[in-house]
Structure 1
Amino acid sequence: MSDTHAVEDTRVTDEDALVDVPAGTEVAGGGSAETDAVVDDVVEDVDDESEESDEDSDDESDDDESDEDDDTEAGAEGTSSGTRSRRSSRGGESLRRLEEEGEVAADYLEELLDIVDLDGDIDIDVENGRASVAIVAEGGSDRELRKLVGPGGEVLEALQDLSRLAVQAKTGERSRLMLDVAGFRAARRKALEEQAARACEEVRRTSQPLRLEPMSAFERKVVHDVVADSGLVSESEGEDPARRVVIFPASA
């Protein structure tokens, strides 16, 4: 890991508010009960904050970034919860804005890690036209960090929403930042790609539409991409949290 200041693609919501963790909260000795309580508060907070700003972005297209002449730079800054690594590239105003989003989100997440007394490195990047921030273990087990993932990624999605809200509060602009914790989203992406490929084969074999199980916006986007690459057609139906992807045979 590069020695820089430490903690992946698709969509979500926003509103200018930060996570409402009580001021002055202290978590002593890494007690899991205190950590779990704060994580529960995070999930409750994001439900309240995003009611009016929640919108699905299955049809949202990624902005293309022109990075042919990018140079990789490294800057380092120690933090109480770990280190932060940033890959910075030379580019236009849009790229600088995305890098700023990553820095704002990383500052926010560092404070959260301190509150819940968890150690993690923060990696910042720009991928597919959006800021990408990942919280990774400092070299040991990622077991404790996985508390920030939650069942089915529920806590991770909440933290991503709140990180986007933090960026909007700071910059005044909507954010499409992607957050990963302990490699959960990367592993989930791989599993979804394999599942979507099998589903496409079934649709080809039966020539019948196939409805998949309900998924998050991130998960639906992964499936839509695989289906498009396979030459078939897909669309989303239903309302969250029951919104799902339907795969259709290719038009005759």
Structure 2
Amino acid sequence: MTTQNDADTGSASRLEEEGEIAADYLEELLDIADLDGDIDIDVDHGRAAVEIVSEDPADRSLRRLAGRDGEVLDALQELTRLAVQAKTGERSRLMLDVAGYRAGRRAALAEVANEAVARVQASGEPVSLEPMNPFERKVVHDAVAAAGLVSDSEGVEPTRYVVVRPA
């Protein structure tokens, strides 16, 4: 008989395995690209979370793996997810960060969401935001929900955007 704790343990070990597979894949990539970096593995909100960090905080070379607007990071995340899927046979929801790019972006998006919430609360009217990728929309949806309002995604990729509405 499987208990909830057993299921959680199984899930956690599967996520840890995803992280290890991703780390191996990314270490090979760093070697090929001749970039220095360490790989941190964690489990966050039911997903494997992997981050490539610089040994030297002044070294900005890893930022190239994020790209100007995170487009390189998004592509690298998809490639890493495919590498994990090839080894496990299961689709991965792994989250990848490089040199704190997503962490910084998350803070900026929370501010955008808070500004939209304030505008909706003041006017009572829906507010549409600029197009965002799925990661960015999720951050905004979470911040809006935490503020007690509702939000929806509208449009079609790559111009899909969030609309914040009164509760």
The answer to whether the superposition gives a TM-score over 0.5 is yes
Compute the RMSD of aligned alpha carbons: 1.2
TM alignment of 1:193-232, pairs within 5 A: 193-232=110-149
* Shift of residue 210, structure 1, vs aligned partner: 0.5
Q: For residue 233 of structure 1, what is the aligned residue in structure 2?
A: 150
Partner amino acid, structure 2, of 1:159: L
Q: For residue 17 of structure 2, what is the aligned residue in structure 1?
A: 100
Partners of 1:170 and 1:160 lie apart in 2 by 16
Match of 1:244 among 157, 161, 164: 161
Identity of aligned residues (%): 67
Partners of 2:63 and 2:77 lie apart in 1 by 14
Q: For residue 179 of structure 1, what is the aligned residue in structure 2?
A: 96
Report the number of matched residues.
Answer: 162
TM-score norm. by structure 2 comes to: 0.94
- SS, match of residue 113 in structure 1: helix
Q: For residue 192 of structure 1, what is the aligned residue in structure 2?
A: 109
Match of 1:110 among 4, 24, 27: 27
> Can you list the C-alpha shifts for 1:102-127, whole angstroms capped at 9, x where unaligned?
00000000000011100000000011
TM alignment of 1:20-99, pairs within 5 A: 92-99=9-16
Partners of 2:104 and 2:59 lie apart in 1 by 14
Partners of 1:94 and 1:140 lie apart in 2 by 33
Task: Return 5+ residue gaps in structure 1 as ranges.
Answer: 1-64, 67-90
- SS, match of residue 138 in structure 1: coil
Partner amino acid, structure 1, of 2:40: D
Partners of 2:116 and 2:105 lie apart in 1 by 16
Match of 2:52 among 135, 148, 168: 135
Q: Is the 8 A contact 1:142 1:182 kept in 2?
A: no
Asked whether 1:158 is paired with 2:75, we answer: yes
- SS, match of residue 18 in structure 2: helix
Partners of 1:104 and 1:185 lie apart in 2 by 21
* Shift of residue 249, structure 1, vs aligned partner: 1.3
Q: 1:192 to 1:140 in 2, by over 3 A?
A: closer
Higher relative contact order (CA 8 A, sep 6+): 1
* Shift of residue 139, structure 1, vs aligned partner: 2.1
Q: Is the 8 A contact 1:211 1:247 kept in 2?
A: yes
Q: Is the 8 A contact 1:136 1:142 kept in 2?
A: no
* Shift of residue 142, structure 1, vs aligned partner: 3.5
Partners of 1:180 and 1:118 lie apart in 2 by 15
Moved more, 91-100 or 209-218: 91-100
- By percentage of residues, which structure has more strand? 2
